[in-house]
Amino acid sequence: MSDARSRGLSNPSQEAQENKNKAVIVVGAGAAGLYAAYLLAEKGVEVVVLEASEVHGGRVRPLANFADFPVELGAEEIHGKNSIYYEIAKKCEARLVKYETEDYYFIDNQLLDAKTAKENKDFNKAMKLIDTIGKFDKEDMSLLQYIQHQGIDESVWHIINAEVANEHGTSAERISMVGLAYEEQHWKAGEDNFILADRSHLSVFNTYFKDILPKIEYRQVVKSIDYAEDTVKVTMQNGYIYEADAVIVTVPLTILKAGEIDFVPALPSAKAEAIQKIGMGAGMKIFLKFKEPFWEAKTGSIYGQLIPEYWVSSEGKSMHDYVITAFVHGKNAEYLTEQGISAVALIIKELDEIFGNALASTHLADSFIMDWSKEIFIKGTYSYDTVGIGNSRQILAEPLKNAVFFAGEATCTDGHHASIHGAMESAERAVKEIGLAWERK
Ligand SMILES: Cc1cc2nc3c(=O)[nH]c(=O)nc-3n(C[C@H](O)[C@H](O)[C@H](O)COP(=O)(O)OP(=O)(O)OC[C@H]3O[C@@H](n4cnc5c(N)ncnc54)[C@H](O)[C@@H]3O)c2cc1C
């Protein structure tokens, strides 16, 4: 049996002195796990991070050697300035940029720029629906039901699906209007989106968490967490056992849904139900590199059908590599994941329909599929609110016996789920909860 307490840390503050004999196990080395470990180490608590895979970062992962600029397989944008992660990226001297680009819409078999699309009354109705989601005050229903209820013309459903449901990790028939409105009302991070112009998110993590990286134990697949006694025992797939005063579980929601970690005693039924109630499913990013651009300069997003949203990832970043990212969630992602490598041909076919003249197929140079549902330790992209979700996120976040604490993006209760900064905020909350629990003892 290995004891997390055997690894030493020194910190001169009084709090650190008080915490000197305390040890915490963090499960998962994504944004939440790394930030939780960072905050605990700052307080003088001994910490070990158990990570199932061979790498840290979780849903933050760069794609190497595909283009001459940083390509992100997972998280890409920093959503808003009022966030822990925006501050961290700034401290690490990352160049944060907000590109001014133009969006395009494929409506009735025509590719329209935003100005032309605004001449279409159905498009304007769709935009109005999106802008007023925060005011939704009816009984919960899916976004698709609401679209139908509002009499939106079918020719523009895919745009609402793309800008709202796909962005939130699913498709319109699965996402909750109450959840979307709640998020809109509670979002505090700010409206501007930034990307890192000159480095990957993982390189920011590597800079900021450099003192935490040596505390990560890789290839440690947590199989059970026993919190029946005073100390918590965490057992690995290989039979190895770690023991500590507390554990913070930051694994993706899908891992809990699949029951991959046994809790002893078993999870309370309300928590088990909450885990199933919150949504998280298939999602893919498909990267398409072309020999030359066939789109207008300064193109941002292009809204399609099979692929709800494409965007030109090389815009403003490269003069040599021309890359479009296809981003798909929900039922179309489930369909494409079954197609395997053939998904690329289907997507290129749609781009040929959008741009005409077989422009996409004749210019395709390379492609890469990132299918997050096939990542065995992630199994999806990010959590979303299902119809009738209620307070499931609060229930998921509740600690067990002041010994097992829950963090990770799905545990955010303030609308910041599905983001890097939300994952970090959840870590901050869990670390505070541990502090309060220890004060009470
Ligand atoms: C395609 C995509 C696009 C995104 N776009 C954005 C964006 O633009 N902006 C943004 O802010 N966010 C975005 N996100 C969301 C963001 O990436 C996540 O919210 C955040 O990274 C989640 O961090 P986490 O620590 O909660 O979980 P993770 O990063 O998933 O970390 C959990 C860790 O637990 C490990 N683990 C799993 N099972 C076990 C086990 N049994 N034992 C030990 N370890 C285990 C996993 O390997 C993983 O490393 C995107 C995500 C994806 C996938």
- Does the C-beta of 255 come closer than 6 Å to ligand 1? yes
Q: What is the pLDDT of residue 12?
A: 45
Q: Is 264 inside any structural domain?
A: yes
Q: Measured in Å, how far apart are the chain's first and last C-alpha atoms?
A: 25
Note the pLDDT tens digit of each residue in 91-127: 999 999 998 899 999 999 999 999 999 999 999 999 9
* 293 closest CA partner among 262, 328, 318, 263: 318
Confidence of residue 5 (pLDDT cuts 50, 70, 90): very low
Asked if 146 and 213 sit in the same domain, the reply is no
Q: Are residues 182 and 205 in the same domain?
A: no
DSSP string, 173-191: TTBBHHHHHHHHHH--S-S
pLDDT at res. 4: 53
For ligand 1, mutation pick of 251, 311, 413 (most atoms within 8 Å of CB): 251
* Share above pLDDT 70 across residues of the chain, in percent, rounded to a whole number: 96
Residue 6: pLDDT over 80: no
Q: What is the pLDDT of residue 21?
A: 85
Same domain? For 123 and 174 the reply is yes
> pLDDT tens for residues 381-409?
999 999 999 999 999 999 999 999 999 99
Helix, strand or coil for residue 318? coil
Q: How far apart are CA 439 and CA 441, in angstroms?
A: 6
Separation of CA 361 and ligand 1 centre (Å): 33
**What single-letter amino acid sits at 377?**
F
Same-domain pairing of 396 and 274 = yes
- Decide if 436 is inside a domain: yes
| Domain boundary, last residue among 186, 218, 249 | 186
Q: Give the integer Cα–Cα distance in Å for 174 and 145.
A: 10
Last residue within a domain, chosen from 186, 213, 241: 186
In a domain, 231, yes or no: yes
Tell whether 181 and 224 lie within a shared domain.
no
Q: What is the pLDDT of residue 121?
A: 98
Backbone φ/ψ region at 402: left (φ over 0), alpha (ψ -120 to 50), beta: left
For 157-170, what is the mean pLDDT?
A: 98
The DSSP result for 91-127, as a single string, is: HTT--EE----EEEEEETTEEEEHHHHTT-HHHHHHH
On whether residue 50 sits in a domain, the answer given is yes
**Residue 415 resides in a domain:** yes
What does the DSSP 8-state code read for residue 165? I
- Which residue, by CA, sits nearest to atom 12 of ligand 1? 419
Kindly state whether residues 264 and 391 are assigned to the same domain.
yes
The protein residue whose alpha carbon is closest to atom 1 in ligand 1 is 74
Cα separation, 402 vs 415, whole angstroms: 25
Quick one: pLDDT at residue 1?
Answer: 42
**Dist. CA 379 → ligand 1 center (Å):** 10
Tally of structural domains, the chain: 2
pLDDT in tens, 282-318: 999 999 999 999 999 999 999 999 999 999 999 888 8
What pLDDT does residue 327 have? 98
Which one is predicted more confidently, 430 or 440?
Answer: 430
Identify whether residues 212 and 158 lie together within a single domain.
no
Is residue 156 lining ligand 1, measured as CB closer than 6 Å?
no
Query: If you average pLDDT over residues 193-214, what whole number do you get?
Result: 96
- What is the overall mean pLDDT for the chain? 95
Residue 417 lies in a domain: yes
Residue 13 has a pLDDT of 63
Give 297 Cα–ligand 1 centroid separation in angstroms.
33
Q: Which of 186, 219, 247 is the last residue of a domain?
A: 186
158 lines ligand 1 (CB under 6 A): no
- Based on the domain organization, do 273 and 392 belong to the same domain? yes
The answer, yes or no, to whether residue 73 has pLDDT greater than 50, is yes
Same domain, 172 and 210: no
Interstrand relation of 404-406 and 246-249 (parallel, antiparallel or unpaired): parallel
Is any ligand 1 atom within 6 A of the Cβ of residue 222? yes
Inside any domain, residue 6: yes
Residue 340 has pLDDT above 90, yes or no: yes
Cα 57 to ligand 1 centroid, rounded to whole Å: 7
Ligand 1 atom nearest residue 223's Cα: 41
Q: Which mutation among 38, 59, 236 tests ligand 1's pocket best, with the greatest number of atoms within 8 A of CB?
A: 59
Both 205 and 237 in one domain: the answer is yes
Question: Residue 122 sits in which domain range?
Answer: 115-186
Check if 58 has its Cβ closer than 6 Å to any atom of ligand 1.
Answer: yes
Task: Give the pLDDT band (50/70/90) at residue 2.
Answer: very low
Tell me the C-alpha distance between 4 and 24, whole Å: 7
Q: Are residues 272 and 220 in the same domain?
A: yes
Residue 436: what pLDDT?
Answer: 95
Would the CB of 372 count as within 6 Å of ligand 1? yes
Q: Are 47 and 182 within one domain?
A: no
Which residues, in sequence order, are CB contacts of 171 under 8 Å at separation 6+? Answer: 144, 161, 165, 308, 329, 330, 331, 332
Q: In terms of DSSP H, where are the helices of 166-252?
A: 177-186, 201-208
| Residue 269 is assigned to a structural domain of this protein | yes
Question: In this predicted model, what pLDDT tens digit does every residue of 12-69 receive, in sequence order?
Answer: 466 766 777 899 999 999 999 999 999 999 999 999 999 999 999 999 999 999 999 9
Tell me, using a 6 A CB cutoff, whether residue 324 lines ligand 1: no
Contact 142, 387 (CB under 8 A): yes
Residue 170 has pLDDT above 50, yes or no: yes
**397: CATH:** 3.50.50.60
Report, as an integer, the average pLDDT of 354-358: 97
